[in-house]
Amino acid sequence: MPITTTPATPLTADQLPAFAEQLQALKAELLARVRQQRGGEVSRADAAAEVRAQSQDDWAQTDAERELSVTLEERELADINDIAAAQQRLADGSFGECADCGAPIGLPRLQANPVALRCIGCQTQHEQRTGQAHAPRP
Ligand SMILES: [Zn+2]
């Protein structure tokens, strides 16, 4: 099989199940760690993550998020949110496409970071623009 220098090619349908499994495993691992640290209450965090996945652009404070924010560290919350959002993209067929330019993110980058939202170029620009991982509130 020839190796090309093309930086990114679109994912094929048969590559998606592996990412679904990887994301599920990441989430399970994260929740297990939280469970270990907090001694329970993970089902609530899980439920809140599902809520977030359905409204990932809405950073307005909801009751679920307020509750979650006292349960989880900000970083854990961001990680769970990233995983849930990636699972949502898998479900709606946009997984592997850069959120900014629509180009394929590329298999190597996704394998290294399955929750990647942008291609490497856009991610770099985004971080320079915002100085943080998440977009500011509108
Ligand atoms: Zn891009």
Residue 83 tokens, joined: 């995983």
Any domain includes 136: no
Residue 120 lies in a domain: yes
Separation of CA 35 and ligand 1 centre (Å): 35
- Mean pLDDT in residue range 93-119: 95
Q: What is the pLDDT of residue 73?
A: 72
| Helix, strand, or coil (residue 40) | coil
pLDDT band for 4, please (50, 70, 90 cuts).
very low
119 compared with 73, residue with greater pLDDT: 119
Q: Is the pLDDT of residue 98 over 70?
A: yes
- Which H/E stretch holds residue 21? helix 16-38
Instruction: Provide the whole-model pTM.
Output: 0.65
Whether 94 is covered by a domain: the verdict is yes
Whether 112 is covered by a domain: the verdict is yes
**What span, in angstroms and rounded, lies between the C-alpha atoms of 91 and 99?**
15
**58 band by pLDDT with thresholds 50, 70 and 90:** low
CA 10 to centroid of ligand 1, rounded, Å: 13
The number of helix segments (H) and strand segments (E) in the chain equals 6, 0
Tokens describing residue 33: 């760690």
Number of domains in the chain: 1
